[in-house]
Amino acid sequence: MQQKHPAPLPIRRACWLALAGLFAAPAGHAQTTLPAITITAAETGAGARLPLDDVARTGTRLGLTARQTAATINIVDRDAIEASGARDTLETLQGAPGIIADATPGGGGNVSMRGFSSSQITQLFNGLDVAYIIAAHPVDSWLLDRVEVLGGASSFLFGQGAVGGAVNYISKLATRQPLQQDSLLRAASFGDYQVAHDVNGAIGGADSGHYARVAVSHQGIGGYVDRTDGRSFVLSASWLADLTPRLSHTLAYEYQAKDHQPYWGTPLLNPTTDARFNPDTRFKNYNAADGAYEQTVQWLRSLLEFRVSDQTTLSNTLYFYDAERDYRNVETYRFNAANSAVIRSATLAQKHGQSIVGDRVEAVHKGEILGLPTTWSFGVDLSRNTQTRYPTSLAAVVSTVDPVNFAPENFFQIPGVTPATNPDRDNRVWTRALYAENHTKLTSAWSLLSGLRAEHIKVDAVNHRAVNAANPAYFQRHWNPVTGRLGLMYEFSPGANAYVTGSTAADPPSGILSTANFGSVQDWDLTSGRQVEVGSKFDFLDGRGNATVAAYKIVRKNLAMPDPANPAVSIPVGQQSSRGIELQAGIRLSPAWSLRGDLALVDARYDTFMQTVGVVAVSRAGNTPTYVPDRVANLHLGWNITPAWTVAAELRNVSARWGNVENTQRFPGYTLLGASLSWKLDRSSTLVLRGRNLGDEFYVASGSTQPRIGEPRAFELSLRSTY
């Protein structure tokens, strides 16, 4: 951490030097960490209120605010990201109600909300769907301008998927403003550190009509588990050009590179249904000595906007995505029957090559229908998503080792292991979609929101491996889902409303289309998801506080499950549902005190579901899906002690979860306490000391027989300068 920046005051120079030599946590690991759980600091002052009056790009394409949209939309803006100290994209989600997330190595960014998880939650990047859960592997949050979360079925906006909701990571872009720079230095427990810079402003003179922005960040990751060190580098660059008074163009490029040694989890003692750990294995990593997850991602976007008139705007988004991923790991560990040794197996070398090219044309028009104010949005979306995977695996046992004292081998020292060079399948997903939305003010108090999307989806795959009935040389499938939304809102007083809305979704019955095999699609239709939601958004205490409340029910039909008459064959007749309530509020208690909190309660279950046990199909109807907590709650408290000093604290509570479909393995709930102390050194610089999981809670972040243990107590010191 030798990077230097101008420092007009001696105190700032001293703080930069102090950061450069900040401690790392003791190697003995007397503590615990969760990448997906952020211990956030409370916002203070006016920022304690929820951002209900911000335009929400994820809820509609009509330019409505979160308050005006008849649906649950949660916005985690840049100020909230900074206040929470969120280090990556998944950690930012902890600022939204009802969400838990973890970065499982083989599953990317696994998000759970409203009773659904994994691929039933669409994760978008600037409104674009990569359609692959591993593509949501967490990256540095420095690139983000904000994160928006839309609750419930929402395929009508972004295409197939999004049964439980949609998450949209929105990147920083060049803006029309004078030169501004933002720097961050961070050092933390376990040897973690970060150096980041962001610059935005006019180029070629203040009246040139050209603006540029460059954000860059490097993170070093020490890891709270043995041998989980890594590093990441991200870069975003954008150029905004006002070509004419009505025509503007933004060219945006992003580069993301990450290389780290994965932690695949900690084996449970037998019997695994008791969910017991050997405490001496808390920080042990049973992966290969040089286990690896490497990722390089590039995004290129061309954003053209033409303001035809004050009422009509046309836009075009042309985009290209390219990703290369590389795994080299020993991924499965279990205790022997006597719980005296750990058996290591499941060697996998895997490469992914994925590319997406697409174009989206949209028009937004404001006018009248029968004298009623109305806004229309129309769009055409075309894309091709291509992915080739190169798996080479060995199921055999690699070694049986002492649980505490062992010396793992390097990956390519394992007998029979070869590089991943033989392709499995080429999957191509072609999508053509037409969509429309409308918002009409029926009266001064009543408004109607509607949306409809019609898609044509084609999947074709070429098999490069052995050909048999289950893996033909080539297969192709077509779907034509139509999804929509209809919502009615009543504004019963200024700043307060109530609404009811219904929406639908469609997604694959099993797996993900970009990696689907013949057995997971066959001749089946897509699943159908339906949601009904009622809610309210309102201000209170003369505008010092605001709140939202929503109740919903979601039903997903046509899940693939074993045929009770022939368990070796799958049929799409399963059903899953959830119902719940979400509440959140933010209030400025006084000029010095602020309070913000949320509570999400959900009852999720399999209504019709069969599981193959040996050669028998067993019903799991009535059971709760894995990884789904009944309750998630957050509480943030902020206190401005003086204009220069601020204290903040957070409490996060997650209820117990089931680790298996049988609901015989239960992981207890947990409560995390975090706090921060901020010192404003001068007008531009702030020093923050932050503590995460201060109670050193031992908890499971995700997983089943080999769960990932969450982050222990950790501290960090950061210096932020904006000038």
List, as one string, the DSSP characters of 398-454: -EEE-SSS--PPPGGGSTT---S-S--EEEEEEEEEEEEEEEEESSSSEEEEEEEEE
Report residue 629's pLDDT band, with 50, 70 and 90 as the boundaries: very high
Nearest Cα to Cα of residue 487 among 503, 475, 463, 472: 503
How many helices (H) does the chain have, and how many strands (E)? 5, 39
Say how many C-beta atoms besides its own lie within 10 A of residue 641's C-beta: 11
Nearest Cα to Cα of residue 358 among 389, 385, 396: 385
pLDDT higher than 80, residue 4 = no
Cα–Cα distance measured from residue 224 to residue 26, given in angstroms and rounded to the nearest whole number: 10
Domains defined for the chain, CATH in brackets: 180-260+280-389+419-722 (2.40.170.20)
User: Dihedral sign, CA of 236, 242, 243, 246?
Assistant: positive
Single-letter amino acid code for the residue at 524: W
Q: Over pLDDT 90: what percentage of the chain?
A: 77
The DSSP secondary structure of 324-369, one letter per residue, reads EEEEEEEEEEEE-TTSSSEEEEEEEEEEEEEEEEEEEEEEEEEEEE
Report residue 15's pLDDT band, with 50, 70 and 90 as the boundaries: very low
Report residue 47's pLDDT band, with 50, 70 and 90 as the boundaries: low
Q: 3-class DSSP state for residue 120?
A: helix
Cα dihedral 330→334→336→339 (10° resolution): 130
Cα–Cα distance measured from residue 506 to residue 508, given in angstroms and rounded to the nearest whole number: 7
Tokens of 508: 């694959």
Residues 6+ apart with CB under 8 A from 279: none
Single-letter amino acid code for the residue at 465: R
Tokens of 193: 């550190």
Task: Tokens 């058996």: give the residue.
Answer: 343
On whether the CB atoms of residues 165 and 150 are closer than 8 A, the answer is yes
Alpha-carbon separation of residue 40 from 97, 167, 377 (angstroms)? 13, 19, 37
Nearest Cα to Cα of residue 76 among 62, 68, 66: 66
pLDDT score at 568:
65
Q: Which carries the bigger pLDDT value, residue 662 or residue 509?
A: 662
Tokens of 338: 């006597």
pLDDT higher than 60, residue 14 = no
The percent helix, strand, coil of the chain (3-state, each to 5) is 10, 55, 35
Region of 167 please: left (phi>0), alpha (psi -120 to 50) or beta: beta
pLDDT score at 613:
85
For 281, phi and psi rounded to 5 degrees? -100, 10
Nearest Cα to Cα of residue 379 among 394, 393, 362, 395: 362
Mean pLDDT computed over 8-30: 37
H-helix or E-strand spanning residue 10 = helix 10-20
On whether the CB atoms of residues 717 and 186 are closer than 8 A, the answer is yes
pLDDT score at 524:
78
Query: What rounded mean pLDDT belongs to the chain?
Result: 89
Cα–Cα distance measured from residue 292 to residue 101, given in angstroms and rounded to the nearest whole number: 22
pLDDT higher than 90, residue 560 = no
pLDDT higher than 50, residue 531 = yes
pLDDT higher than 80, residue 42 = no
| Of 221-230, 560-569, 593-602, 701-710, minimum mean pLDDT range | 560-569
pLDDT score at 612:
84
Q: 3-class DSSP state for residue 656?
A: coil
pLDDT score at 227:
94
Report residue 106's pLDDT band, with 50, 70 and 90 as the boundaries: confident
pLDDT higher than 90, residue 146 = yes
On whether the CB atoms of residues 85 and 73 are closer than 8 A, the answer is no
Residues 6+ apart with CB under 8 A from 378: 362, 363, 435, 436
Cα–Cα distance measured from residue 395 to residue 300, given in angstroms and rounded to the nearest whole number: 39
pTM score of the predicted model: 0.91
On whether the CB atoms of residues 478 and 508 are closer than 8 A, the answer is no
pLDDT score at 385:
96
pLDDT higher than 80, residue 588 = yes
Single-letter amino acid code for the residue at 167: V
pLDDT score at 457:
94
Q: Over pLDDT 70: what percentage of the chain?
A: 93
Report residue 136's pLDDT band, with 50, 70 and 90 as the boundaries: confident
pLDDT higher than 70, residue 35 = no
Residues 6+ apart with CB under 8 A from 648: 40, 41, 42, 44, 83, 636, 637, 638, 639, 675, 676, 678
pLDDT higher than 50, residue 167 = yes
Nearest Cα to Cα of residue 715 among 183, 31, 2, 225: 31
Report residue 287's pLDDT band, with 50, 70 and 90 as the boundaries: very high
pLDDT score at 514:
84
H-helix or E-strand spanning residue 507 = strand 496-507
Q: Rounded to a whole number, what is the distance in angstroms from the first to the last CA of the chain?
A: 21
pLDDT score at 288:
96
Using CB atoms within 10 Å of the CB of residue 358, give its burial: 0 to 12 exposed, 13 to 18 middle, 19+ buried.
middle
Residues forming a β-bridge with 331: none
Task: Tokens 């639908």: give the residue.
Answer: 504
H runs (alpha helix) in 95-242: 155-158
Say how many C-beta atoms besides its own lie within 10 A of residue 6's C-beta: 10
| Of 139-153, 521-535, 593-607, 707-721, minimum mean pLDDT range | 521-535
Report residue 34's pLDDT band, with 50, 70 and 90 as the boundaries: very low
Cα–Cα distance measured from residue 157 to residue 544, given in angstroms and rounded to the nearest whole number: 33
pLDDT score at 123:
92
pLDDT score at 44:
39
Winning range, highest mean pLDDT, from 1-5, 352-356, 515-519: 352-356
Q: 3-class DSSP state for residue 190?
A: helix
pLDDT score at 508:
82
Cα–Cα distance measured from residue 544 to residue 303, given in angstroms and rounded to the nearest whole number: 38
Cα–Cα distance measured from residue 191 to residue 229, given in angstroms and rounded to the nearest whole number: 9
Nearest Cα to Cα of residue 486 among 451, 434, 453, 455: 451
Residues 6+ apart with CB under 8 A from 234: 139, 140, 142, 143, 215, 216, 217, 254, 255, 256, 257
pLDDT score at 485:
97
pLDDT higher than 80, residue 348 = yes
